Structure formats: structure tokens, C-alpha cells
């Protein structure tokens, strides 16, 4: 685990949700917008618990963006917001002190109050979270020029937290941050001392998350944190060392003590390697002295020693580069098997943010015959983790499918892994089967480890399915809405406060709430809030249309459109068209179509669709002349519109302009192949027109074109059969 993504364990100490969903629910607010919202909550009038809660929520946000490898700009902006939050906290504290009016008793009461505790905690917590952002930035190549300044600033934040004796969570977190800082500065001796001191201080609780993190760091520093690690060696079984090689290790041990001897040892090793004498036992022993031998020229194996040395010191990118160099060289020897080194290569790639490379290496490793079980298990997890991290920055259909496959494999191999719940959430969100996805989420056994994210994922799955069926009669939208309302009640305050989530919640209520009038009132209030997004506006309008249906008052939508001071936007027209088409009152449909068409001049496609709908309604009501005039006007504006010719043909036929109808249908049948339904409609209409004319034999020309075609669909089969009986044509 890289130092830029290790805050999740800290949240239980502060009472903040630590496990966020890997693929946020659709509509989730952007991190910077959320942070800006948190800053806005810190007003001069805000109660002090709001400041403490904001500090905790900001910590969760910091962890999210660090886990997702957010761009430098986002981290820098969040760092600035952290400083602004601290300034507002300081101003709030100074105001509280001024309110005491210099009265020592009043000030003493303040310093002993919960208000003081909230503000003093916040005053330290904001720089503490800022320190993690600084540490993240310091590790990025793009910030190399500011690395010293960033590390110095991070040290100040961690030190301040480590001295808050009345805030143990901040004390432990601050010292842990200082340990990570020592690693970043390559002061491994200091890092070990800090981690060992933390473990000792937390000896009373062997499950304390900070203690576990410190133990994990010590294991990493000792090279024991990964499968196959043992002091940095491969961990592979190896036989006894050849006694003839003992002088090499005497020299290496001598160098360890006196800093003299590695050169001679390197020369002897080069001779052994050149003669093809490298084997697994020798390699394991050499890697025990990687610090002593790393500067010596060992040919291809020198790259492996350098890779292991960099890996042990958490220098991930140099490690990945050296592993790549080693495997490209195809080193020679006997009884050599490098699967564990390949796994470490994949880990180094992952920690260097080379997620695609890490996934590719893990997949290659999993294809190795007779792979050791612990390596196979670890590589399976790594393949999943790499793809989950890649999804955060690059979501495509292919990447989602790959993530789903990797998650399934990971769950098959390690169903009880601490990160298995995250895989289940990712997999559920990728499944097309909503029932299966919800079953998978409902089957998670450890809600304490994933509190909040499971509910969020469940809500996301329901939202996705609801969007598919909401406009389909009988699609199950009402049942989904009721289930979604139940899940909404379990969401965190942060999720419920998200504006776009609130808009979707009102859509669910529009379908399932027993009081539609109350929902309309709630929508009106929500629309009055500042900064309503277009996504929320769409949700509110969709919900109102459904509520007008339920109230039996669809004409309210007509009044709403007529009262608009601005043009009808495209998304609104897209929602209105299917809704208007399904209105049972055809006269009201015609009113909508006639009213909307003039308001859609900036949206020619939607204007054309509503004008076509209006012509269809005129034809259905027997107003052929009006339909004919409207069709001619439509074709004048859209001369290439095939639907326009169809409407003109039907209107001309209804008004007995038969030659014009035949010609209009002829335009259509000449442009589309017989596989189209409209071709059959046009040809049969033309045959019918000619059969009823003064020259019925003219229909035979068309009959001869229809006969060789495939039998018509049932929709036209009966009409075709009737026409064949009416029209007498030569057998040919």
C-alpha cells in the first residue's frame, strides 16, 4: 500500500466513514464541489459541533481523492480549502473568546466546554488532513520542484497533531504521519523508531488500526509485507549453499561491518554468473546482502538486486524499471524460478500508478503452470485492485468488463479477504441483472467494514435499473421506486444532502409516494435552492410529469410550457415527446403538439417530431385538409424528411388527391428497401390507390414488384391478401 493512500484505517478513530464505494453512485457530487460545500458550512453563526463534523467529513474527502489518484490541481485546491477552513475555525474561536469580554471566569468556562473541544480539535484536524495532501503531492514527479517545501509543511501538520494530548486519535495519527514522512525522506532508521514506538504505545490493543498500520509498515521496511518476501529475498525454497561460494559471503559480511569487501565479492559473483552457476539457493543468499552488493556489476542479476533494493526501500518506480530490465535480459542459470519476483514487479508497477501494466503482469503470472498457492492468491487480488484503480480514471465498457471478471476471480479465490466487500460492490455495480446485483449486495456479511458504501451501491443499482424502466408501462418502476425509497433511508447524511441524489429521490417519490400533491410541493421547494444542476432540473421535470398523470391534471404541463420565458431546452423536449404521445386524450395531444412546435425553432429535430405528431392527430380526427396543409408546410421546411412524405401521402389520400398521394408514396418506396415496414405501407397504399382509379390495370406494375419479395409481416399480410383478390393481373 503506498503512502499516498493509507487513510482509510484512520477513520474509525475519528468516527468518520472510511470505506467509500470504488465506483460512486451516479450523480455523486464532485470532490471539489463537496469540499466547497463543507467550507460554506463554517459560517460565523454555525454551532461548534458543525466545525468538528466538517473536519471529520473533510478527512473522508481527502482520503477519497488520494485513493483515486486525483490530479495535482485537485489536491492543491483541497490544500487551499483546508487552510481556509482552519482560518474560519480560528476566527470562530477568537469570536468565542471575545464573547467572554475579558472575564476570566467566562474564559475558564469556555476552555472547559465542549465548544472549546470542538474548535481545538478542528483547529488541528484541518492542518492534519492538509499534511496528508502535502505528503501525497511530495511523492509525485510533477511536484519535484516543491518537494522540500511540501515535506516541510506536512511535517508541521503532523507534529501539531502529535502534540494534542487531549486528542489521542490525532496524536496517534500525527505520529503515524511522521513515520510515513520519514520513509518519504528515506530516513528509514527514524521511520522504524516511530513505528516501533507506536506499536509499544498501543500494546494494550493489538487490533488498534494505527498499531496494525505501524506493524504493516515495519513489515514492509523489513521486506516481509508481500508473498515470497523474507528479508527482501524471493522466499523460494532453496537447498544448502555450495561451500565453494562461502568466501563470497564472508566478504559481504565483512563489508556489512567495515564497508570493505563488496568489490571482491562482486568480482567472484560475476565469475560464477558468467559460468552459468547462478541458482535459486545462491540468489536467495545474495539478496540477503542486497544493500552491500547493489552497487556492484552483476550483469543481468545486478538489475534484480537493484530492483529488490529499491522495492525494500519503497522506491516503487525505480524498482519497476529495474524489474523490467531484469526480465528483458533473460538471465541464465539453473533451477531458477522467478514467479515471486514477477509478483513484486507487478506490485511495484501498481504503486507507481502503472495500473494497466500491473494488471497485465498479474494476468501473465496467473497463467503460470503450478503457481504456488500464496502467490496465486496475491496475484488474483492484485489483478483486481489494479483494474479497480484504473477504473477511477478511465472507465470504458472494456475496462468495466475486465474489472467484473477480475472481481469474480478474486471473490472465488479469497471470499473472506478484507477487501472482498469492495470487490462485491464493484461487481454488483457492473452486473446488468439488477436482481443478481442486489442479491450480491444483500449477501455482504461485514457491514461494519463497509458501512455506507453498501447502501450507496444498492441505491446506485436501483437508480440504474429505474432509469431503464421508468418510461415503460409495466416495467416495474413502482416496485423499484418503493425499494429505492427504503434504501434512501439507510444512506449517509452526506449522500442524502447531495443535490442530484435528492432529485432522484423525488423521482422515486413521484412514482411511489401516496401523496402526489405533497411531492409537487417538495419539488417546488427544491427548485428554489441555489445552484440546481441541469441533472437535478431534468429529474424534477420528469417527476412533475408523472405527478400530473397521477393527479389526472396533464394540462398543468401545458400551462407550465406556455408560461416559460425562455426557449424549451432539448432535454425537456425529449422528455415531453414520449409523454405527450402516450396521453389518452388526443385533443390534448394536439394542443401540446401545436403549442410546442413554435417554441422549438432552435431544436429542428424535436420541432419536426412534434409537427409530425400534430399531423398524425389531425388525420386521426378526420381533419384531412388541415393535415394536408401542415404536411406541405413541413416538407417545405424539411424537404428531405421521409416522415414528411409519409404524412403528405396519407393526407393527400384522405383528401382524395390520389395522384399526389401515389407520387408521395413513390418517393418513399424508391428510397427504402422492401425490408422496411414503410416500404410495404407505401407499396400497398399505391396499389390500393391505383386499383380504385379509372385505370385499375396500372396497379399490376406495382403488384409485380411486390410478389417476388419476402412475405410481409403480419401487420401487412392481411391487407396484401385482400388486394391480391381485388386486383386482376396476368400470371406473369
Lowest mean pLDDT among 73-82, 379-388, 458-467, 634-643: 458-467
Q: Model confidence over 434-446: pLDDT tens digits? A: 666 666 666 665 4
Position with higher pLDDT, 546 vs 12: 546
Q: Please, are residues 233 and 284 in contact by the beta-carbon 8 Å criterion?
A: yes
Residue 212 CB partners (closer than 8 Å, separation 6+): 9
CA distance 304 to 320: 10
Confidence band for 452, pLDDT divided at 50, 70 and 90: low
Q: What is the pLDDT of residue 449?
A: 41
**Across 264-277, average pLDDT:** 85
pLDDT average, residue stretch 18-28? 31
CB neighbours (10 Å) of residue 352?
18
**Alpha carbons 244 and 382: distance in angstroms, whole number:** 40
List the single range of 9-13, 124-128, 522-526 with lowest mean pLDDT.
Answer: 9-13
pLDDT of residue 694: 79
Model pLDDT for residues 76-126, shown as the tens digit of each residue: 889 999 999 999 988 888 887 777 665 666 556 666 677 778 888 888 889
The H-assigned helical ranges of 185-289 are 188-201, 209-221, 246-258, 262-274, 280-287
Strand partners, 230: 233
Residue predicted with more confidence, 116 or 350: 350
> Residue 222 — pLDDT band, cuts 50, 70, 90?
low
pLDDT in tens, 479-512: 888 888 887 887 777 788 888 888 888 988 988 8
For 655, the grid coordinates are 383528401
Of the pLDDT bands very low, low, confident and very high (cuts 50, 70, 90), residue 225 is very low
Identify the pLDDT of residue 430.
63
CA 640 – CA 408 distance, rounded (Å) = 51
Long-range contacts of 415-418 (CB under 8 A, 24+ apart): 417/381, 418/449
Q: Is the pLDDT of residue 624 over 60?
A: yes
Residue ranges per domain, the chain?
A: 3-221, 224-352, 498-553, 650-732
**Cα dihedral 652→656→662→663 (10° resolution):** -50
Mean pLDDT across 396-418: 76
* Grid coordinates given for 665: 408514396
| pLDDT surpasses 80 at 682 | yes
Calculate the dihedral angle through the C-alpha atoms of 192, 198, 201, 204, rounding to the nearest 10 degrees.
-110
272: Cβ contacts below 8 Å, ≥ 6 apart: 245, 248, 278, 282
Q: Answer yes or no: are the C-beta atoms of 143 and 170 closer than 8 Å.
A: no
Task: Give dist(CA 55, CA 291) in Å, integer.
Answer: 43
What is the rounded distance in angstroms from the CA atom of residue 446 to the CA atom of residue 422?
11
Q: What pLDDT score does 418 carry?
A: 67
Query: Under a CB-based contact definition with an 8 Å cutoff, are residues 225 and 216 in contact?
Result: yes
Amino acid at each position: 500500500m503506498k503512502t499516498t493512500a493509507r487513510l482509510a484505517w484512520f477513520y474509525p478513530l475519528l468516527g468518520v466513514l472510511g470505506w467509500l464505494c470504488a465506483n460512486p453512485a451516479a450523480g455523486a457530487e464532485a470532490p471539489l464541489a463537496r469540499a466547497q460545500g463543507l467550507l460554506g458550512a463554517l459560517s460565523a453563526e454555525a454551532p461548534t459541533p458543525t466545525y468538528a463534523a466538517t473536519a471529520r467529513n473533510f478527512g473522508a474527502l481527502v482520503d477519497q481523492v488520494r485513493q483515486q489518484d486525483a490530479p495535482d490541481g485537485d489536491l492543491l485546491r483541497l490544500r487551499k480549502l483546508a487552510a481556509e477552513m482552519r482560518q474560519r475555525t480560528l476566527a470562530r474561536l477568537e469570536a468565542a473568546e471575545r464573547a467572554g469580554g475579558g472575564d476570566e471566569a467566562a474564559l475558564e468556562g469556555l476552555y472547559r466546554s465542549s465548544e472549546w473541544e470542538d474548535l481545538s480539535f478542528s483547529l488541528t484536524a484541518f492542518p492534519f488532513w492538509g499534511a496528508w495532501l502535502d505528503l501525497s503531492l511530495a511523492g509525485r514527479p510533477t511536484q519535484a520542484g516543491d518537494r522540500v517545501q511540501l515535506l516541510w509543511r506536512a511535517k508541521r501538520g503532523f507534529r501539531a497533531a502529535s502534540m494534542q494530548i487531549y486528542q489521542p486519535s490525532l496524536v496517534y495519527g500525527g505520529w503515524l504521519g511522521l513515520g510515513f514522512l520519514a520513509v518519504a525522506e528515506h530516513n528509514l532508521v527514524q521511520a522504524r523508531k516511530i513505528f516501533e514506538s507506536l506499536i509499544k504505545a498501543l500494546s494494550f490493543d493489538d487490533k488498534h488500526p494505527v498499531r496494525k498500520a505501524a506493524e504493516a509498515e515495519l513489515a514492509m521496511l523489513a521486506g516481509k509485507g508481500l508473498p515470497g518476501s523474507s528479508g527482501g529475498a524471493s522466499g523460494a525454497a532453496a537447498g544448502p549453499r555450495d561451500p565453494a561460494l562461502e568466501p563470497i559471503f564472508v566478504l559481504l559480511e565483512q563489508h556489512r561491518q567495515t564497508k570493505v569487501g563488496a568489490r571482491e565479492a562482486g568480482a567472484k559473483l560475476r565469475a560464477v554468473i558468467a559460468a552459468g552457476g547462478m541458482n535459486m539457493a545462491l540468489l536467495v543468499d545474495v539478496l540477503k546482502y542486497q544493500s552491500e552488493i547493489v552497487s556492484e556489476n552483476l550483469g543481468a542479476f545486478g538489475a534484480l538486486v537493484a530492483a529488490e533494493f529499491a522495492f525494500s526501500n519503497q522506491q516503487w518506480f525505480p524498482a519497476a524499471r529495474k524489474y523490467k530490465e531484469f526480465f528483458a535480459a533473460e538471465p541464465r542459470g539453473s533451477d531458477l524460478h522467478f514467479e515471486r519476483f514477477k509478483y513484486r514487479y507487478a506490485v511495484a508497477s501498481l504503486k507507481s500508478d502503472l495500473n494497466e501494466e500491473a494488471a497485465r503482469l498479474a494476468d501473465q503470472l496467473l497463467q503460470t503452470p503450478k503457481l504456488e498457492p500464496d502467490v496465486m492468491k496475491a496475484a488474483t487480488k492484485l489483478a483486481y485492485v489494479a483494474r479497480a484503480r484504473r477504473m477511477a480514471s478511465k472507465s470504458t465498457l472494456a475496462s468495466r468488463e475486465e474489472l467484473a471478471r477480475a472481481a469474480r476471480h478474486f471473490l472465488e479465490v479469497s471470499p473472506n479477504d478484507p477487501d472482498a466487500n469492495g470487490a462485491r460492490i464493484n461487481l454488483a455495480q457492473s452486473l446488468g441483472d439488477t436482481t443478481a446485483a442486489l442479491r450480491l449486495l444483500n449477501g455482504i456479511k461485514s457491514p461494519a467494514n463497509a458501512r455506507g458504501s453498501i447502501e450507496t451501491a444498492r441505491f446506485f443499482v436501483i437508480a440504474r435499473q429505474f432509469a431503464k424502466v421508468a418510461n415503460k408501462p409495466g416495467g416495474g418502476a413502482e416496485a423499484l421506486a418503493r425499494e429505492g425509497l427504503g434504501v434512501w433511508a439507510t444512506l449517509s447524511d452526506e449522500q442524502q444532502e447531495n443535490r442530484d441524489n435528492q432529485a432522484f429521490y423525488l423521482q422515486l417519490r413521484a412514482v411511489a409516494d401516496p401523496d402526489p400533491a405533497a411531492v409537487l410541493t417538495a419539488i417546488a421547494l427544491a427548485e428554489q435552492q441555489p445552484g440546481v444542476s441541469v441533472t437535478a432540473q431534468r429529474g424534477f421535470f420528469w417527476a412533475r410529469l408523472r405527478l400530473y398523470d397521477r393527479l389526472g391534471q396533464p394540462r398543468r404541463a401545458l400551462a407550465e410550457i406556455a408560461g416559460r420565458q425562455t426557449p424549451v431546452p432539448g432535454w425537456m423536449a425529449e422528455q415531453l415527446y414520449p409523454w405527450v404521445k402516450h396521453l389518452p386524450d388526443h385533443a390534448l395531444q394536439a394542443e401540446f403538439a401545436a403549442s410546442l412546435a413554435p417554441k422549438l425553432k432552435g431544436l429542428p429535430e424535436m420541432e419536426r417530431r412534434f409537427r409530425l405528431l400534430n399531423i398524425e392527430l389531425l388525420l386521426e380526427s378526420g381533419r384531412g385538409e388541415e393535415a394536408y396543409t401542415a404536411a406541405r408546410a413541413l416538407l417545405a421546411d424539411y424537404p428531405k424528411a421521409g416522415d414528411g412524405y409519409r404524412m403528405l401521402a396519407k393526407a393527400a389520400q384522405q383528401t382524395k388527391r390520389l395522384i399526389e398521394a401515389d407520387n408521395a408514396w413513390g418517393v418513399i418506396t424508391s428510397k427504402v428497401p422492401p425490408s422496411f415496414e414503410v416500404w410495404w405501407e407505401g407499396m400497398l397504399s399505391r396499389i390500393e390507390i391505383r386499383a380504385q382509379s379509372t385505370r385499375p390495370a396500372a396497379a399490376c406494375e406495382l403488384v409485380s414488384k411486390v410478389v417476388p419479395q419476402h412475405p410481409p409481416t403480419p401487420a401487412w399480410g392481411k391487407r396484401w391478401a385482400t388486394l391480391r383478390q381485388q386486383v386482376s393481373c396476368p400470371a406473369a
